[in-house]
């Protein structure tokens, strides 16, 4: 029998309006414990206002060995960035 608790990934929203960001991972026996552990481990210095936890095994990750085919083709396609427009000077925050 595996006596280790499963691993959970923790996402913390630092304040309202912002996105949840990955904070780290931890061990917990169930979701409720994962939330409590995340609260105790990752928000003890006021880091957050909201916590998501998801069991690590439920995350499907891209295969690092396939990073060539997945990501490299985008490298030479600078035209996918909207950087070729002439912006009027009055337009800010772009």
Partner 1 sequence: MKEINKELLFDYIIQLGDSSMILGQRLGELCGHGPELETDIALTNISLDLFGQVRNYFQYAAEIQGEGKTEDDIAMLRYEHEYRSALLVEQPNKDFAYVIARQNFYDHYHYMLLEFLVNSKDEQIAAIARKSIKEVEYHLDFSITWMKRLGGGTEESNCRLQDAVDNLYRYTKELTTPTETEKQMAELGVGPDLTSLQASYYNSLNALLTEAEINVPKEIVFQFGGKEGRHTEYMGYILSDFQYMQRAYPNMKW
Which residues in this chain contact partner 1 in the complex, by CB under 8 A? 5, 26-30, 32-33, 36-37, 39-41, 44
**Shortest separation between residue 30's beta carbon and partner 1, angstroms:** 8
Q: Which one, 40 or 71, has the nearer CB to partner 1?
A: 40
Strand partners for 38: none
Closest CA to 23 of 44, 45, 43, 6: 43
Residue with tokens 């909201």: 50
Environment class of residue 38 by beta-carbon count within 10 Å: exposed (0-12), middle (13-18) or buried (19+)? buried
**Shortest separation between residue 50's beta carbon and partner 1, angstroms:** 16
Q: Which one, 50 or 67, has the nearer CB to partner 1?
A: 50
**Shortest separation between residue 18's beta carbon and partner 1, angstroms:** 23
């Amino acid at each position: 029998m595996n006596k280790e608790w499963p691993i959970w990934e923790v996402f913390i929203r630092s304040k309202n309006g912002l996105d949840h960001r990955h904070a780290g991972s931890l061990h917990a026996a169930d979701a409720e414990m994962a939330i409590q552990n995340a609260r105790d481990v990752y928000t003890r210095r006021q880091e957050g206002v909201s916590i998501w936890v998801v069991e690590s095994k439920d995350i499907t990750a891209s295969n690092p060995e396939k990073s060539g085919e997945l990501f490299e083709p985008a490298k030479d396609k600078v035209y996918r960035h909207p950087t070729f427009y002439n912006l009027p000077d009055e337009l800010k925050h772009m």
